[in-house]
Structure 1
Amino acid sequence: MIKDDEFIRNDGVPITKEEIRALSLSKLNLIHSDSVIDIGCGSGGMTIEMAKIAKKAYAMDNSEDAINTTKANLEKFNIGNCELISGDAKEELEKVLKKLKESNESNELNALPSENLKIFIGGTQNIEEILKIANKYSIKTIVSNTIVVNTGLKIAEILENYGYEIDLINMNVSYGRKIKSGYMMIARNPITIITAKK
């Protein structure tokens, strides 16, 4: 795992913290023949880690600051197998999935079976539409992280209704800080990680 402080950061652009990235990557269970789509890529923390494993990564965000930060990190870590996509995730996800489906149906070399396409959702404003599109294109593995507990439960309920098996984890990470009398633990926001598989 890359340390958080190694990433290029910009104010107001979030990054998935190292420990959360580690567990999220474990839940995605990526292999070298996979392609993965990062929705709400932020600073590109998950994008970089996923692209290091997968055959191809797509990183989407509607924030130009996020796209620029992710681009800078892709360059810093010499990642060449990632396509950056700026715009509304609902529209851009449909475009990417349609393109991949068409290439698969035409039996082109390197066509991608649906089980080798996975989605990570770090943040999005149109979660119902995103999940509807993912289900429409028979995505087998979806991992979503959220700070808001209600959003996590909503995602789980929607995906369960689509026939996915759901795994929910709420992860609390605290970092030790040295003080005169020893160490005190400083807590970060708890994160809910939803894993959905078919």
Structure 2
Amino acid sequence: MFKDTDFIKSCDVPGPTKEAIRAIILYKSDVSPTDKVVDCGCGTGGITCEFAKRAGEVISIDTNPEAIEITSKNLEKFGLGDNVKLINDDGANALKDIDGIDIAIVGGSGRQLENILDIVHEKLNSKGRIIITAILVDTKVEAINKLKSLGYNPQIMEVNVSNGRVLDRGILMISENPIAIMTAQKR
């Protein structure tokens, strides 16, 4: 796993997804070296970099050109990217040209979550997996309801990671951003 502090960051681009969250996403994805992974809303590329080490092909999408640029720099920094395609476009539009998806990770949807999930559902291979991360309660409810309407049996996990800092008088625990990780597998 890459350390959070190793990533190139920007004030204008979200990320990277925290190391502990990336670890859970990797575990839940059950990624294999032959999998085709789509990272929709890649931000600074934290998830893209982790999957680039483990999957056969990674396609990362973001509407923000700066996010694509920073993801590219992070891939280069870690010596990755030969198996990664970066697309500067909105998720729904970019997904229309991608077939045979084994794992779809949706971290940013630009208010198009239901549309993106409809397209992912059509493009997902048999036994393919969907992973959605969300911090807004409304997005969590929208994701779960949409997955159910598509015939999935979604699971949801709320994660709140706290890291400690040792002080003279004790240990201060500092909470990282809480996030929900929703997973579903095509039947």
Among 153, 156, 161, the residue aligned to 2:144: 156
CA offset at residue 47 of structure 1?
A: 0.1
**Structure 2: 5+ residue stretches without partners:** none
Q: CA RMSD in A?
A: 1.2
Deviation, structure 1 residue 60: 0.3
Question: How is 1:17-166 mapped onto 2 (pairs within 5 angstroms)?
Answer: 17-79=18-80, 80-97=82-99, 100=100, 117-125=102-110, 126-139=112-125, 140-166=128-154
Name the CA distance, whole Å, in 1 between partners of 2:59 and 2:124.
18
- Write the distance in 2 (CA, Å) between the matches of 1:88 and 1:190: 25
Aligned-pair distance for 1:180?
Answer: 2.2
The structure that is helix-richer by fraction is 1
User: Partners of 2:168 and 2:124 in 1: how far apart?
Assistant: 55
Residues of 1 paired with 2:83 and 2:123: CA distance?
22
CA contact under 8 A between 2:98 and 2:123: conserved in structure 1? no
Q: Matched residue of 1:53: which SS? A: coil
How far apart, CA to CA, are the structure 2 residues paired with 1:44 and 1:138?
A: 22
TM-score for both structures, normalised by structure 2: 0.93
Instruction: Please point out which of 150, 156, 167 is paired with 1:179.
Output: 167
Shift of 1:153: 1.8
Identity %: 39
What letter is aligned with 2:54?
Answer: I
How far does the alpha carbon of each residue in 1:41-89 deviate from its partner, in whole angstroms, 9 at most, with x for none? 0000000001110000000000011000001011111211100000111
Tell me whether 63-72 or 139-148 shows the greater mean CA deviation: 139-148
TM-score (norm 1): 0.88
